[in-house]
């Protein structure tokens, strides 16, 4: 999906480090030839034009977030609400970086250092038991 979106808005995929890191780690497909698009095709949107942001400060912030320790100090992370979790393991199955694990009969556990904050776990949870933690103060100041 990200790779298709990059193509849709006519950005240079080589300049988007998040896609490159994800591709290198095997998180999804980065080769358009191997992606099946259902519905409207990219050619249907060839006359759509997006302007890149003028402020590159956001890109600097994203580059800083490549460092795991910094990411963990600045960003919120998934929190499993035990009172709502049914221990189904769907969050573990969907997690691209395999940052979540589960043992039979136990609640899922998150390795924050591996988490990329994609929130797939939250989106797939049938009980909406995965919430965002509060953003750390340093993260509130910087972002």
Residue 138 and residue 69: Cα distance in Å, rounded?
A: 13
Nearest residue to 115 via CA among 101, 126, 129, 105: 101
pLDDT of residue 50: 78
User: How does pLDDT run across 82-102, given as a tens digit for each residue?
Assistant: 999 999 999 999 999 999 999
CA distance 67 to 69: 6
- Does a structural domain hold residue 70? no
**Residue 90 has what pLDDT?**
97
Q: What is the pTM of this model?
A: 0.59
Residue 100, domain extent: 77-132
pLDDT score, position 139: 67
CATH number of the domain encompassing residue 86? 3.30.70.20
- Tell me how many degrees the CA angle 122-74-125 measures, rounded to the nearest 5: 5
Mean per-residue pLDDT over the chain, rounded: 84
Do 87 and 124 sit in the same domain of this protein? yes
Q: Are residues 83 and 118 in the same domain?
A: yes
Distant-in-sequence, close-in-space partners of 111: CB < 8 Å, separation ≥ 6: 99, 100, 101
The per-residue pLDDT for range 51-67, each reduced to its tens digit, is: 766 665 556 666 777 77
- Kindly state whether residue 65 falls inside one of the protein's structural domains: no
13 is a domain residue: yes
Number of domains into which the chain is organized: 2
């Amino acid at each position: 999906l990200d790779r298709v979106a990059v193509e849709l808005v006519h950005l240079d995929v080589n300049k988007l480090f998040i896609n490159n890191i994800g591709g290198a780690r095997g998180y999804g497909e980065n080769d358009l030839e191997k992606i099946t698009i259902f519905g409207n095709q990219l050619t249907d949107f060839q006359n759509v034009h997006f302007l890149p942001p003028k402020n590159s400060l956001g890109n600097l912030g994203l580059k800083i977030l490549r460092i795991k320790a910094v990411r963990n100090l600045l960003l919120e992370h998934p929190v499993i609400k035990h009172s709502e979790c049914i221990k189904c393991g769907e969050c573990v199955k969907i997690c691209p970086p395999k940052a979540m694990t589960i043992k039979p009969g136990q609640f899922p556990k998150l390795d924050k250092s591996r988490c990329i904050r994609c929130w797939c776990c939250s989106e797939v949870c049938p009980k909406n038991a995965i919430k965002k933690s509060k953003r750390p103060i340093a993260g509130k100041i910087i972002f």
